[in-house]
Structure 1
């Protein structure tokens, strides 16, 4: 069932906005897998006040979810009930606060953050260049790569809670663990402050180039993929467990375990989200049977089945 057609959330029940509010918005074009159903409502706020006012007036029973670049996400084929919030250009600014600190909008990409840091002579956030997502997602998931995580550089995060309340949260309040934070459901990260260290721009660029080359050599970057699929269990690499279980190249419909990096799932063309998620569950079963290790999803899976 299309959630836009079957829910009690009607246009008359939604608060007025200054940004864009779209009913039944297809999400497949907005996510890297290019699969899945529609958002009951897609809200692209004009600014922080627009978002805060909307959430404060929205029926508390209506679920709210943030959407960044859609890189680490499976949207189920029945779509996403409630409101999906997508932060656009007004939230994509990155500004230098001092010699080592940047304030970054929740909609800013990792590439924009790292390149702005380079131009400002700030090192330490180069790893964000390798994560295909936005600041809001990095902060929520404690995103990381190449030995660094958001918690290593975050000073504070500005969020709008589901209630519409605006809060500034420090590192301790975010309760970071591996690829997880204590941010409450429905909270939207609208900005974050990162602190690095003073560095020559050429040195920062060299590290960014090294990271880019390593990604190019090891990951299926030009495919329809959700990025890293499973978290690395303690003492293990997820891809090695997947490979050892004989899952490299495994398919279900048009979904495939990547031959190049088997902790990546691919949509070869017309895979449904059910195909992709089902393939991931089959991989988990095979790994459990082979090694006794239970893999945890790193990719978020949201929405409902048809």
Structure 2
């Protein structure tokens, strides 16, 4: 029951009842309803932002966040495994491959360096799990850089290996005449008696005695620089440039089996034994030059003779006898 209010009427000297206008009552009711609605809305907003009130959408997002955290943890474990494999490759690269080819090792300060200067991860900042995402992204970036450096290093090793293979193929590493075709080793490298002047002079190659027409083999890969008889005393002769400073000369041939400019491989037949030029009997005069200087061919026969054969040839070659040219 609502209270009845009165006021004093001074003209009539009496108390009279206060009558409330209906419009005012309606306004009060409307104001109360608006205030209640505003309070309820604000309370709802507050509840939405507290952990005590979760909507289905909030629960779904929470599960997704937990799944993302789990996936990042799994990704980091996989990166640990990849890092281990990459470290093993880098160790072999530094301590085996680069050592074999006499190349300086790549230090870890270069292989595993981060990225300096501008903040590359600014766009990932400001989120609840920013640090997790940033740390994982940094690891991926560093690994990508390591892989790029390792890839370049292996490219370099492949080039060095190809050059090494080319170098090994170019070295004059076999006898120019096979043992089964030899009569005997006539003369070796060093001072020998000249067959024409009988004076003692430097013999700059080795003489292999064989029948005329015996095949002569290229002792290493290379390009034929000469195949003619223009050099005094050598008669029909061939010069092969092998690269890496090596050249070989084959003199007194009966005929050629190659021409100038032709590329030959080790073991190819390039000509045949003869006695042209300044020669006393059918034989092959063979020279090896390194950087335009003659060297002892005996040091280059490791490709097709045994240790016993090498000892026998070296004993014959070192005898101071008469040369055949």
**Superposed pair shares fold, TM > 0.5:** no
Structure having greater relative contact order (Cα 8 Å, sep ≥ 6): 1
Bin for the TM-score computed over the shorter chain: under 0.3
Q: Which of the pair is proportionally richer in helix?
A: 2
Q: Which of the pair is proportionally richer in strand?
A: 1
TM-score (norm 2): 0.20
**Structure ID, larger Rg:** 2
